[in-house]
Amino acid sequence: MSVVFSVRSMPGDERLEHWQEDVFRTFVPLRITLPKDEPFSGTISTDRLGPLQATTVDCDRGRVDRTPGLIARDSSGYVYVGLQRSGHAHVDQDSRSAELHPGDVALYDTTRPYTLRFPRRFRMQVLLVPCSLLPQTEGELQRITATSLLRDDGLGHVVLPFLQSVADRACDITPTVAERLAASAVDLVGTLLAERLGRDPQDTAGGGLALLLRVKAFIDRHLADPDLTLVHIAREHRISVRYLHKLFEGESTTVARWIQRRRLDECRSELSRRSPATPTVAAVARRWGFTNAAHFSRAFRAAYGTSPSAWRAGAQD
């Protein structure tokens, strides 16, 4: 079922504040700038697709900035694959700028500053892909952000219709099918990026990469389960715990540390959000699988250099 936010029926002087909050909840912390003394309306529709999120934004002209300060508040690692459906957009990141017309696709990375400029009303579909699911390194992604990814070739014309179809029909897809489509979408995006980077796509798909991506997606879906264990993960993927450890050897971390860091990332993101009903730090920790408050506090401080309470206070300033 789609989650829909709309500011069409709100008084004009309240729309920017509500739109800012809706964008924040849907994506990551962003600064929204709208033209002064102009009417504004906008709608955001979002669906989950396994570990991915498919979102459609339909609104009047404006500007979106992901600033260093906002990244410091919430450094969630996503690659956004933007599919321009109507109007046009300018995507600026990593000292490049891409102009997108209907049918164009570009990506931008939430771990570094970027700007989106929309000179007139537009419709854009955005596929939110966790960076951890893509085979490309951070350096490789940095080489291809803010670049029009489609060319007049066979690969682009295979990928775009698939992604558009997935985004259009995400609300009607069952969870089981969604998992499979999400895996296919990640594989296609990774293959397209590899080709655009001048690499053999087979170089990114060999070994246990496909299985590693499925394991990471499984972990993300079960982060809130305090009983998530290596034995459980291995059994669900019909592999041994020893082979599970082997899959993560190239990640410069262990499986247990990967799980803890992903839980900490989610806790940090939730503690950064402004909400009318603010949960306690302990409640946030429990929600993401931490059963011991003292352990959570120590782990959070070790990862981010401050306590959970201090982080929340700083984010609310």
So what CATH class is 261-316? Answer: mainly alpha
Report pTM.
Answer: 0.68
Check residue 128 and give its pLDDT. 94
pLDDT of residue 185: 86
Phi, psi at residue 226, to the nearest 5°?
Answer: -65, -15
Q: Left (φ > 0), alpha (ψ -120 to 50) or beta: where does 37 sit? A: left
| CATH number of the structural domain 3-201 | 2.60.120.10
Consecutive 10-residue runs of the chain (317 residues): their mean pLDDT?
64 72 87 86 89 92 94 87 95 96 93 96 94 85 91 71 85 79 84 81 52 81 91 87 84 88 90 75 93 93 92 75
Please tell me the predicted confidence (pLDDT) of residue 57: 95
Q: Are 4 and 45 in contact (CB under 8 A)?
A: yes
- The reported pLDDT for the residue numbered 165 is 87
Is 261-316 the same fold as 3-201?
no
* Per-residue pLDDT at 119: 96
Residues with Cβ within 8 Å of 43's Cβ and at least 6 positions away in sequence, in order, are 4, 5, 6, 7, 8, 57, 58, 59
> How high is the pLDDT of residue 206?
44
Locate the domains of the chain by residue range: 3-201, 261-316
Tokens found for residue 121? 């009303």
